[in-house]
Amino acid sequence: MRNFINRFSQFMVGRYGMDALGKFLNIVSIIMLVLALITRISVFYLLGLALIGYNYFRIFSRNINKRYAENLKYLTVRNKLKYNFDRLKIRLKPRQDAKTHKVFTCPSCKQRVRVPRGRGRIEIKCPKCGTKFVKKT
């Protein structure tokens, strides 16, 4: 067993190995294979096998720069999606002061301005750009 591990370690020298994109491809391929088992649709099975094949190609590849660039592109897209999802979660979460204050968006700079409720029609001055606009609270 020890001999096999040494040989495999020697084989992997100079190869790319596993990264975040590889882990994502593994998860997606497992999901595809499970879907193929449940639905009996062969497209999911073929797609799952193709993803596994592509992942092994990436793992054993000697073109480290190209695999690194692929992983970097994946991480950029993933982080952008995660950032947008986190912002959406924050916007959809009910605020603690929703009963006492109302939030308006500045028409010129899109800055969010919080004002107290129940004041009638008031003129709001944006703290960022100084634009004045009238809203009913």
Q: Residue 37 and residue 43: Cα distance in Å, rounded? A: 11
**What is the per-residue pLDDT across 85-96, written as a single tens digit (0 to 9) for each?**
999 988 887 777
User: What confidence tier does 83 reach under pLDDT thresholds 50, 70, 90?
Assistant: very high
Q: How many CB atoms lie within 10 A of CB 59?
A: 16
Residues 6+ away with beta carbon under 8 Å from 74: 20, 21, 24
Q: What's the start-to-end Cα distance of the chain, in Å?
A: 74
pTM for the model stands at 0.66
Question: What three-state secondary structure class fits 87?
Answer: helix
Q: Are 123 and 134 in contact (CB under 8 A)?
A: yes
User: Whole-angstrom Cα distance, residue 28 to residue 25?
Assistant: 5
pLDDT of residue 109: 92
| Residue boundaries of the structural domains of the chain | 2-92, 101-136
Q: Whats the size of the chain, residue-wise?
A: 137
- Specify the residue for token string 């994109």: 21
Measure the CA–CA gap between 41 and 136, rounded to whole angstroms.
56
Rounded to whole angstroms, the Cα distance separating 37 from 62 reads 34
List, for residues 21-70, the tens digit of each pLDDT value.
Answer: 999 999 999 999 999 999 999 999 999 999 999 999 999 999 999 999 99
